[in-house]
Structure 1
Amino acid sequence: MKNMLSVATAMSLWLVMIAPAQAANGNVAAGQAKAAVCAGCHGADGNGGADPLWPKLAGQDSAYIAKQLADFKSGARKDPIMAGMAAPLSAADMKNIGAYFASLKPKPGAAQDAQLAKQGEKVYRGGDAKMGVSACMSCHGPSGHGIPPRFPKVSGQNAAYTRKQMLAFKAGSRANDGEIMTRIAFRMSEQEIKAVSEYMAGLH
């Protein structure tokens, strides 16, 4: 009887301990229900829709997704479509949606231009000392999986989407993630941005 009570007590304590963690990370099932409308652009499996300018979200860090949704809602990050989508979401909804997309399995991407990707690899792994551009992998990791929650996963992302975002950082029209990307992208040429975006599309 004592052993049974000890097991029951241990289980109760364990449930108490994991409940706050689950709440902090979001509820996948609740996120899936809320994210049903997202499939039109981001794909039913989170691996992207028909337009390459729409990002893949499968496997992305949950906290990063929640932050971007909050920024779309507040206007810190500008996008007319996403502003409308994020407007009715609560902070809990955003966490849940983030947890759902983080739980999905990302499909490996592929570079379409091998020569361009080779140019991009040099910048991704070695930076551009002459222009004061640090290696992309110093923040996003050698395999592009990021350092969550601040630095997102970039491997396998649509090249067109990555290029669009980097050009936005370069122009200063996107500044919701601190100054690091703004400073780095500003110093990169448009050709370097195009090459790095192509390389990251096939990185995994």
Structure 2
Amino acid sequence: MDTRVAFMTQYSSLLRGLAAGSAFLFLFAPTAFAAEQTVEAPSVDARAWILMDYASGKVLAEGNADEKLDPASLTKIMTSYVVGQALKADKIKLTDMVTVGKDAWATGNPALRGSSVMFLKPGDQVSVADLNKGVIIQSGNDACIALADYVAGSQESFIGLMNGYAKKLGLTNTTFQTVHGLDAPGQFSTRAIWHCWVKH
């Protein structure tokens, strides 16, 4: 029994010594600090681009972000935004059934040939919810037209709403000419469109 107690006492002393020695080494070990580095902007194969922090809206890196370019499918974000405002104002409901017109005919409208579509046909009955999913998920140009016709009566009237909201949101360098973003003269945007989506 005495041998066991003696062993435990020696073992405890050894552990205390190791702990004290480790603490001593830790306290007096040389500390290395990394110098603050400036990170070069990445090489991006794009005519214009911008990288922003979602939480703060701070621009982290950019390249030609103020160049006026066709917004292409970014247009669909505004299309869906306008639909969202109509829903918010109780002008339409997600469950409303939309009758697809000839201008939204995926294979019958020459402007839509070769573009991203939901393959809508004239007379199809599709809910607002499904059309909006078609806009955002499928990037469906035909769905954009069907929603524009339903919400505003025509694409032209809907484009007026889009540009009106663009002004309200502070998109001073943005002009929409289509509801889907396919190329059109006079349609352009800059970095402002990204600031808008981060803020709203």
TM range (shorter): under 0.3
